[in-house]
Amino acid sequence: MKMKIPHLILAGLFGTAIASHAATVEWSLAANGDWDTTTSNWNANTATYTDGDAVQFNDSATGETLVQIAIPGGTVSPASVNFTDGGAGTTQYRFTSGSINGATSVTLDAGFDGTARFNVANAYTGGTTLNSGRLMAGDANALGTGTLTLNGGTFTHVNGANRTIANDIVISGTTTVLPSNTDLALSGAISGGGTLITGSQPGAEYLSFQNDLSGFTGKIIHTNSNQNYILFNGAGSVNTTAAIETHGQTSGGRYFRLQKNATFGELSGTGGN
Protein backbone atom coordinates (compact mmCIF):
# COMPACT_ATOMS: atom_id res chain seq x y z
CA MET A 1 0.00 0.00 0.00
CA LYS A 2 1.23 3.47 -0.80
CA MET A 3 1.56 5.55 2.36
CA LYS A 4 1.11 9.28 2.63
CA ILE A 5 4.16 10.92 4.18
CA PRO A 6 3.16 13.88 6.36
CA HIS A 7 4.99 17.14 6.82
CA LEU A 8 8.30 16.62 8.60
CA ILE A 9 9.23 19.27 11.17
CA LEU A 10 12.82 19.58 12.35
CA ALA A 11 13.44 21.80 15.36
CA GLY A 12 16.84 22.98 16.57
CA LEU A 13 18.37 25.35 19.01
CA PHE A 14 18.47 28.15 16.48
CA GLY A 15 14.95 27.91 15.10
CA THR A 16 12.68 25.58 13.20
CA ALA A 17 13.09 24.20 9.70
CA ILE A 18 10.17 22.62 7.85
CA ALA A 19 10.93 20.06 5.16
CA SER A 20 8.81 19.99 2.07
CA HIS A 21 5.64 17.92 1.91
CA ALA A 22 6.17 14.74 -0.10
CA ALA A 23 3.50 12.15 -0.87
CA THR A 24 2.29 9.87 -3.62
CA VAL A 25 -1.49 9.49 -3.62
CA GLU A 26 -3.48 7.13 -5.84
CA TRP A 27 -7.14 7.69 -6.71
CA SER A 28 -9.33 5.09 -4.96
CA LEU A 29 -12.78 5.51 -6.43
CA ALA A 30 -14.29 3.47 -9.24
CA ALA A 31 -17.28 5.80 -8.98
CA ASN A 32 -17.40 9.56 -9.48
CA GLY A 33 -15.77 11.79 -6.92
CA ASP A 34 -14.29 15.11 -5.88
CA TRP A 35 -10.61 15.96 -6.09
CA ASP A 36 -10.28 18.25 -3.08
CA THR A 37 -8.19 18.58 0.09
CA THR A 38 -10.71 17.19 2.57
CA THR A 39 -12.14 13.97 1.12
CA SER A 40 -10.28 10.68 1.57
CA ASN A 41 -10.54 9.57 -2.04
CA TRP A 42 -6.92 8.45 -2.20
CA ASN A 43 -4.78 5.47 -1.13
CA ALA A 44 -7.68 3.05 -0.53
CA ASN A 45 -9.73 5.88 0.99
CA THR A 46 -7.18 6.52 3.75
CA ALA A 47 -5.58 9.75 2.52
CA THR A 48 -6.47 13.23 1.38
CA TYR A 49 -4.76 15.31 -1.31
CA THR A 50 -2.45 18.28 -0.68
CA ASP A 51 -0.96 20.52 -3.37
CA GLY A 52 2.54 19.25 -4.12
CA ASP A 53 1.54 15.57 -3.99
CA ALA A 54 2.39 13.22 -6.84
CA VAL A 55 -0.99 12.00 -8.10
CA GLN A 56 -1.77 8.66 -9.76
CA PHE A 57 -4.83 7.25 -11.53
CA ASN A 58 -4.68 3.56 -12.47
CA ASP A 59 -6.64 1.58 -15.06
CA SER A 60 -7.71 -1.30 -12.80
CA ALA A 61 -11.47 -0.71 -13.24
CA THR A 62 -13.73 -0.57 -16.30
CA GLY A 63 -16.21 2.09 -17.36
CA GLU A 64 -16.06 5.84 -16.81
CA THR A 65 -15.06 7.74 -13.69
CA LEU A 66 -15.87 11.46 -13.45
CA VAL A 67 -13.36 13.54 -11.50
CA GLN A 68 -14.45 17.01 -10.34
CA ILE A 69 -11.75 19.36 -9.07
CA ALA A 70 -13.68 20.85 -6.17
CA ILE A 71 -11.18 23.06 -4.36
CA PRO A 72 -12.06 26.72 -3.66
CA GLY A 73 -10.66 28.66 -6.59
CA GLY A 74 -11.05 25.59 -8.78
CA THR A 75 -7.36 24.72 -9.22
CA VAL A 76 -4.94 22.04 -8.04
CA SER A 77 -1.14 22.05 -8.33
CA PRO A 78 0.21 18.52 -7.90
CA ALA A 79 3.88 17.70 -8.40
CA SER A 80 2.87 15.36 -11.23
CA VAL A 81 -0.10 13.44 -12.60
CA ASN A 82 0.45 9.88 -13.86
CA PHE A 83 -2.02 7.45 -15.40
CA THR A 84 -0.65 4.03 -14.53
CA ASP A 85 -1.02 0.35 -15.40
CA GLY A 86 -3.20 -1.16 -12.68
CA GLY A 87 -4.03 -4.48 -14.32
CA ALA A 88 -6.57 -5.58 -16.91
CA GLY A 89 -8.95 -2.63 -16.65
CA THR A 90 -9.71 0.13 -19.17
CA THR A 91 -10.87 2.97 -16.93
CA GLN A 92 -11.85 6.24 -18.62
CA TYR A 93 -11.13 9.20 -16.37
CA ARG A 94 -13.12 12.26 -17.40
CA PHE A 95 -12.15 15.55 -15.77
CA THR A 96 -15.23 17.77 -15.79
CA SER A 97 -14.46 20.84 -13.68
CA GLY A 98 -11.61 22.91 -12.30
CA SER A 99 -8.07 23.18 -13.63
CA ILE A 100 -4.65 21.58 -13.14
CA ASN A 101 -2.07 24.35 -12.70
CA GLY A 102 1.55 24.89 -11.74
CA ALA A 103 4.70 23.21 -13.05
CA THR A 104 2.86 19.89 -13.14
CA SER A 105 3.55 17.28 -15.82
CA VAL A 106 0.89 14.83 -17.01
CA THR A 107 1.99 11.37 -18.21
CA LEU A 108 0.08 8.39 -19.55
CA ASP A 109 2.52 5.65 -18.57
CA ALA A 110 3.55 2.68 -20.71
CA GLY A 111 1.05 -0.11 -20.07
CA PHE A 112 -1.86 2.20 -19.26
CA ASP A 113 -4.86 0.89 -21.22
CA GLY A 114 -7.46 3.41 -20.16
CA THR A 115 -8.42 6.94 -21.23
CA ALA A 116 -7.56 10.35 -19.81
CA ARG A 117 -10.20 12.80 -21.02
CA PHE A 118 -9.83 16.46 -20.09
CA ASN A 119 -13.01 18.43 -20.74
CA VAL A 120 -11.57 21.50 -19.04
CA ALA A 121 -8.97 24.18 -19.72
CA ASN A 122 -5.78 23.48 -17.81
CA ALA A 123 -2.81 25.77 -17.20
CA TYR A 124 -0.03 23.40 -16.13
CA THR A 125 3.35 24.08 -17.71
CA GLY A 126 5.29 20.82 -17.31
CA GLY A 127 4.10 19.19 -20.51
CA THR A 128 2.08 16.11 -21.41
CA THR A 129 3.54 12.73 -22.41
CA LEU A 130 1.48 10.02 -24.11
CA ASN A 131 3.12 6.59 -23.96
CA SER A 132 0.06 4.33 -24.00
CA GLY A 133 -3.73 4.44 -23.77
CA ARG A 134 -5.94 7.22 -25.11
CA LEU A 135 -5.60 10.94 -24.46
CA MET A 136 -8.67 13.08 -25.26
CA ALA A 137 -8.81 16.88 -25.39
CA GLY A 138 -12.23 18.35 -24.73
CA ASP A 139 -10.95 21.92 -24.69
CA ALA A 140 -8.40 23.79 -26.81
CA ASN A 141 -6.36 24.36 -23.61
CA ALA A 142 -6.87 20.90 -22.13
CA LEU A 143 -3.15 20.11 -22.25
CA GLY A 144 -1.91 23.24 -20.50
CA THR A 145 0.88 25.25 -22.11
CA GLY A 146 3.74 22.75 -22.24
CA THR A 147 4.92 20.41 -24.98
CA LEU A 148 2.88 17.36 -25.97
CA THR A 149 5.22 14.37 -26.43
CA LEU A 150 3.83 11.44 -28.43
CA ASN A 151 5.60 8.15 -27.74
CA GLY A 152 2.66 5.80 -28.35
CA GLY A 153 -1.06 5.40 -27.74
CA THR A 154 -3.85 7.43 -29.35
CA PHE A 155 -4.53 11.17 -29.22
CA THR A 156 -7.93 12.53 -30.18
CA HIS A 157 -10.39 15.25 -29.26
CA VAL A 158 -13.96 15.19 -27.94
CA ASN A 159 -16.94 15.32 -30.30
CA GLY A 160 -19.00 18.43 -30.74
CA ALA A 161 -16.72 21.28 -31.79
CA ASN A 162 -13.76 21.98 -34.06
CA ARG A 163 -10.59 22.34 -31.98
CA THR A 164 -7.14 23.78 -32.48
CA ILE A 165 -4.38 22.41 -30.24
CA ALA A 166 -1.62 25.03 -30.05
CA ASN A 167 0.88 23.05 -27.95
CA ASP A 168 4.23 22.26 -29.52
CA ILE A 169 4.40 18.54 -30.31
CA VAL A 170 7.34 16.12 -30.26
CA ILE A 171 6.67 12.83 -32.07
CA SER A 172 9.11 10.25 -30.69
CA GLY A 173 7.34 6.91 -31.07
CA THR A 174 4.36 5.63 -33.08
CA THR A 175 1.12 7.36 -32.17
CA THR A 176 -2.33 7.42 -33.77
CA VAL A 177 -3.91 10.88 -33.99
CA LEU A 178 -7.62 11.00 -34.80
CA PRO A 179 -10.01 13.84 -35.46
CA SER A 180 -13.43 13.09 -34.03
CA ASN A 181 -16.64 13.94 -35.94
CA THR A 182 -15.34 17.52 -36.12
CA ASP A 183 -12.04 19.05 -37.23
CA LEU A 184 -8.79 18.81 -35.27
CA ALA A 185 -6.02 21.30 -36.08
CA LEU A 186 -2.43 21.16 -34.80
CA SER A 187 -0.95 24.66 -34.87
CA GLY A 188 2.16 24.33 -32.70
CA ALA A 189 5.65 23.43 -33.90
CA ILE A 190 6.04 19.72 -34.67
CA SER A 191 9.40 17.99 -34.26
CA GLY A 192 10.91 14.57 -33.66
CA GLY A 193 11.57 11.50 -35.76
CA GLY A 194 8.66 9.20 -34.85
CA THR A 195 5.59 8.06 -36.78
CA LEU A 196 2.16 9.64 -36.69
CA ILE A 197 -0.78 7.56 -38.02
CA THR A 198 -4.00 9.35 -38.93
CA GLY A 199 -7.48 8.79 -40.22
CA SER A 200 -9.04 5.51 -39.09
CA GLN A 201 -12.08 6.75 -37.14
CA PRO A 202 -15.51 6.58 -38.87
CA GLY A 203 -17.24 9.88 -39.39
CA ALA A 204 -14.17 12.00 -38.74
CA GLU A 205 -13.36 15.18 -40.62
CA TYR A 206 -10.11 17.13 -41.07
CA LEU A 207 -6.84 16.59 -39.31
CA SER A 208 -4.88 19.67 -40.30
CA PHE A 209 -1.27 20.68 -39.82
CA GLN A 210 -0.93 24.47 -39.55
CA ASN A 211 2.85 24.76 -39.51
CA ASP A 212 5.81 24.16 -41.80
CA LEU A 213 6.89 20.82 -40.22
CA SER A 214 10.52 21.92 -40.66
CA GLY A 215 11.58 20.28 -37.39
CA PHE A 216 9.92 16.93 -38.11
CA THR A 217 12.03 14.16 -39.66
CA GLY A 218 9.75 11.14 -39.17
CA LYS A 219 6.73 9.81 -41.08
CA ILE A 220 3.03 10.67 -41.37
CA ILE A 221 0.86 7.72 -42.45
CA HIS A 222 -2.58 8.60 -43.80
CA THR A 223 -4.78 5.50 -43.44
CA ASN A 224 -7.87 6.78 -45.21
CA SER A 225 -10.09 3.71 -44.78
CA ASN A 226 -12.96 5.72 -43.26
CA GLN A 227 -12.88 8.68 -45.65
CA ASN A 228 -11.03 11.20 -43.51
CA TYR A 229 -9.15 14.27 -44.68
CA ILE A 230 -5.56 15.12 -43.93
CA LEU A 231 -4.87 18.76 -44.64
CA PHE A 232 -1.73 20.91 -44.76
CA ASN A 233 -2.69 24.58 -44.42
CA GLY A 234 -1.84 27.68 -42.43
CA ALA A 235 0.64 30.42 -43.26
CA GLY A 236 3.79 29.78 -45.26
CA SER A 237 5.00 26.65 -47.02
CA VAL A 238 5.60 23.12 -45.81
CA ASN A 239 9.32 22.38 -45.95
CA THR A 240 10.27 19.11 -44.29
CA THR A 241 12.36 15.99 -44.78
CA ALA A 242 9.51 13.92 -43.32
CA ALA A 243 7.99 11.06 -45.31
CA ILE A 244 4.29 10.99 -46.22
CA GLU A 245 2.53 7.69 -46.87
CA THR A 246 -1.14 7.64 -47.94
CA HIS A 247 -3.48 4.66 -48.35
CA GLY A 248 -7.16 3.87 -48.78
CA GLN A 249 -10.09 5.33 -50.62
CA THR A 250 -10.11 8.88 -51.92
CA SER A 251 -13.72 8.99 -53.12
CA GLY A 252 -16.34 11.19 -51.52
CA GLY A 253 -13.97 14.13 -51.27
CA ARG A 254 -12.01 12.63 -48.37
CA TYR A 255 -8.34 12.86 -49.21
CA PHE A 256 -4.84 14.10 -48.66
CA ARG A 257 -4.96 17.84 -49.45
CA LEU A 258 -2.28 20.51 -49.83
CA GLN A 259 -3.35 24.14 -49.55
CA LYS A 260 0.13 25.63 -49.91
CA ASN A 261 3.48 24.85 -51.48
CA ALA A 262 5.02 21.76 -49.94
CA THR A 263 8.31 19.89 -49.97
CA PHE A 264 8.49 16.43 -48.39
CA GLY A 265 11.37 14.01 -48.05
CA GLU A 266 9.33 11.18 -49.56
CA LEU A 267 5.79 10.56 -50.83
CA SER A 268 4.51 6.99 -51.12
CA GLY A 269 1.46 4.77 -50.69
CA THR A 270 -1.26 2.96 -52.58
CA GLY A 271 -3.70 5.85 -52.93
CA GLY A 272 -7.29 4.80 -53.67
CA ASN A 273 -10.18 5.39 -55.99
Indicate whether this model's pTM tops 0.85. yes
CB 135 within 8 A of CB 128: yes
| E strands in 27-120 | 33-35, 54-58, 64-69, 75-76, 80-84, 92-97, 99-100, 105-108, 115-118
Nearest to 77 by CA among 107, 38, 35, 112: 35
pLDDT per residue, tens digit, the chain (273 aa), is 444 444 443 334 334 433 344 599 999 986 778 999 999 999 999 999 999 999 999 999 888 999 999 998 899 999 999 999 988 789 999 999 999 999 999 999 999 999 999 999 999 999 999 999 999 999 999 999 999 999 999 999 887 788 999 999 999 999 999 887 788 899 999 999 999 998 656 665 788 899 889 999 999 988 765 556 788 887 778 888 999 888 765 555 556 778 778 888 998 887 655
Q: How many Å apart are CA 208 and CA 195, to the nearest integer? A: 16
* Among candidate residues 193, 194, 185, the one with its CA nearest the CA of residue 167: 185
Greatest Cα pair distance in the chain: 83
Q: What are phi and psi of 267, to 5 degrees?
A: -130, 125
First CA to last CA distance, the chain? 57
- What is the number of residues in the chain? 273
